Amino acid sequence: MKSASSFDARDFRQALSMFATGVTIVTARGDDGEPVGLTVNSFNSVSLTPPMVLWSIAKSARSRPVFSGDAHWNVHILAEEQEALSNRFSRAGEDKFFGLTLERGVSDAPLLPGCSARFQCQTAFEYDGGDHTIFVGKVIAYDRSNRAPLLYLSGAYALASRRAADVATQPSAMPSAPYSENLLGYLLGRAHYQFMAGFRQRLQHYALSDADFFILSLLVVREPMGDDELATHIGYTGAAADPRSLLSMVDRGLLLQADGYRLSPAGRDAILDVLASAKSAEAQLVQQLGEQDAASLRNLLKKCILASDPGLPALWTTP
Amino acid sequence: MKSASSFDARDFRQALSMFATGVTIVTARGDDGEPVGLTVNSFNSVSLTPPMVLWSIAKSARSRPVFSGDAHWNVHILAEEQEALSNRFSRAGEDKFFGLTLERGVSDAPLLPGCSARFQCQTAFEYDGGDHTIFVGKVIAYDRSNRAPLLYLSGAYALASRRAADVATQPSAMPSAPYSENLLGYLLGRAHYQFMAGFRQRLQHYALSDADFFILSLLVVREPMGDDELATHIGYTGAAADPRSLLSMVDRGLLLQADGYRLSPAGRDAILDVLASAKSAEAQLVQQLGEQDAASLRNLLKKCILASDPGLPALWTTP
């Protein structure tokens, strides 16, 4: 426990940053008609009756006087796609509004599009808050969208995922078990297998193993591929490309051998049919998770993949 | 855009709830010595020099006077495991502190353990905020842990995951490709395979296929298991239990057949060795992701698993 005499500004900020927040941009228009805006995460709701919100700004900030008196200002809760806008409005000295399409609100304060929610306010109170001024505003108008909001936490942007209350960690009934249902490895495997179960019937219809499926999926994106190139892509699974798998698919008329491996018309039909089925499993999963959680999951899986990346060449970049 | 005359309290709250927040419990001790505490998400930082934070409380709240004057109070930023505590302190009328181990801080305000960060404060200002009172406190002491914080967003608890800026969605160089690197199915498979690559060497050492590994992992948690029971557990992969896989492991001396299948001593040694290697791959992944992202990923994978659950019996519950 650190006590006041030993406060280090950086460490104190780190402790405060454990409190997650959304990210907002607060805008107003100066007496000279120039638009003013800054990125703020000290926003919060205050009152319902009357509707009021608050935020704070450094007393030293050049734009602070613009918000005083009975000024009008707009608070924009940023959506997850607006990270670049957040960065732009957190820096001084550039024309923050350059190229932006502004909407017209109840006042002449700039109103930015594409946000998760917006509040059009007028200063009600201006309070002392140490090295900051706290502005409390009466909300005159507001709107919201279904866009997933951007988060800020521990000094970095973040995404939120709704908590799965009904899959709370299940304490092991067998504490001596060498692994538990809470291990990422177990969960990754189970989620992957269950996802594949959604179209395994189509795989079985064409008598395709997981390895076969993998090879056909590669060739549908790029062909021909030689043994070496296939081996490189399959390499990230840690398994060597099984020559028997390839030969068997040639025997079954799914692959053609000419300058490496190509899909036969029958092979192309088979993999496109399986992929169509995989796509509908994908759509179902995204619908069940919701867009926001699906975006968070993609984000985290990409981090996993990067963390354990064996240096696989990107399939989609032209060779 | 809704304007003030048409404000519906519920709709307005929903718009405000698009601003994500952490969750805190604020505690104090009344003049009668009784501990007081409530769940608050209107917390935010205000000032660095002097260090100050703020939060607001309904003017009608019975405990409000406890925080007035030069009262001491503690703000606890809750960790993701503390959802139940958040619920407990958001309800009136029960003994909120029942069974909790309180720590001793600089004042006699209750200090709760297990949080992401804690701030011990003394009221500096008390401001009017419509139907709420805003308390600004000077921070006298603080501490923090590495526990991932709990979030509140759109009226529900949530977890955060740091945004992977460097794996931004890669636009496909082949727009006609029937699938893309942004599909959950692809990402799940690749993350799973790359994870397994971290201990595939050990699997290969014992000539274990993925299916063999799966069966041995089941038996190390519970044995014996009959054909039917194994088939049920393997069922979620969508594949039937392959009798050849079982017989081959019996032949190789890894399994014993007696009232179903059991691990032989050699089989037990093999699977424990592989699981130890899997555990170290797990530890490495968690370290690379960080505790917070690992917790978010576990949460989301559990949601995937629930969404596509074929009704698998839990392995860990006693039958």
What string of DSSP letters covers B165-204?
GGG-----S-TT-SS-TT-HHHHHHHHHHHHHHTTHHHHH
Could you read off the pLDDT of B250-291 as tens digits, one per residue?
A: 999 999 998 899 999 999 999 999 999 999 999 999 999 888
Residue B5: per-residue pLDDT = 58
- What's the mean pLDDT in A157-169? 65
Looking at residue B71, what DSSP letter applies? -
State yes or no: pLDDT of A75 exceeds 90: yes
Most A CBs within 10 Å, among B17, B19, B80, B153, to test the A interface: B19
Residue A10 has pLDDT above 50, yes or no: yes
Identity of the residue in A106, A118, A304 whose CB atom sits nearest the CB atom of B285:
A304
Q: If one looks up domain B184-307 in CATH, what number appears?
A: 1.10.10.10
- What band does B113 get if pLDDT is binned at 50, 70 and 90? very high
Is the per-residue pLDDT at A236 higher than 80? no
- What does the pLDDT average to over B224-246? 77
pLDDT at B154 over 70: yes
- CATH architecture assigned to B11-158: Roll (2.30)
Q: Measure the CA–CA gap between B114 and B86, rounded to whole angstroms.
A: 12
Look at residue B177 and tell me whether its pLDDT is greater than 70. Answer: no
Separation in Å, CA of A24 to nearest CA in chain B: 8
User: In this predicted structure, what is the pLDDT of residue A5?
Assistant: 57
Rounded to two decimals, what is the model's pTM? Answer: 0.73
- φ, ψ at B197 (rounded to 5°): -60, -25
Question: Above 50 in pLDDT, residue A167?
Answer: no
Tokens read off for A128: 């002392």
pLDDT digits (tens, 9 = 90+) for A285-297: 999 888 778 888 9
Mean pLDDT of A178-189: 80
Q: Could you tell me the two tokens for A192?
A: 């992957």
**pLDDT reading at A162 higher than 50:** yes
Task: Find the residue in B nearest to A219 (Cα).
Answer: B177
pLDDT of A194: 87
Domain boundary assignment for chain A? 13-158, 184-307
Q: Report which of residues B24 and A298 the model is more confident about.
A: B24
Q: CB burial class (10 A; 0-12, 13-18, 19+) of residue B298?
A: buried
Contacts of B80 in chain A (CB under 8 A): 163
Contact at CB, B158 and A154, closer than 8 angstroms: no
Question: Counting one residue from A and one from B, how many pairs have CB atoms under 8 Å apart?
Answer: 486
Between A212 and B131, whose confidence is greater? Answer: B131
Q: Is the ipTM of this complex over 0.85?
A: no
Tokens of A211: 């390895």
* Backbone φ and ψ of A145, nearest 5°: -125, -175
A253: left (phi over 0), alpha (psi -120 to 50) or beta: left
For residue B118, the chain A residue with the least C-alpha distance is A15
The pLDDT value recorded for residue B120 is 98
User: How many helices (H) and strands (E) would you count in chain B?
Assistant: 9, 13
- The correct CATH number of A13-158 out of 3.30.560.10, 3.30.465.10, 1.10.10.10, 2.30.110.10 is 2.30.110.10
CB atoms A308 and B166 under 8 Å: no
Spatial distance between the Cα atoms of B108 and A43, rounded to a whole number of angstroms: 30
Determine the residue among B6, B41, B133, B194 to mutate to test chain A binding: the one whose Cβ has the most chain A Cβ atoms within 10 Å. B194
Residue of A nearest to B297 (CA): A300
Q: Using the predicted structure, report yes or no on whether residue B3 has a pLDDT greater than 80.
A: no
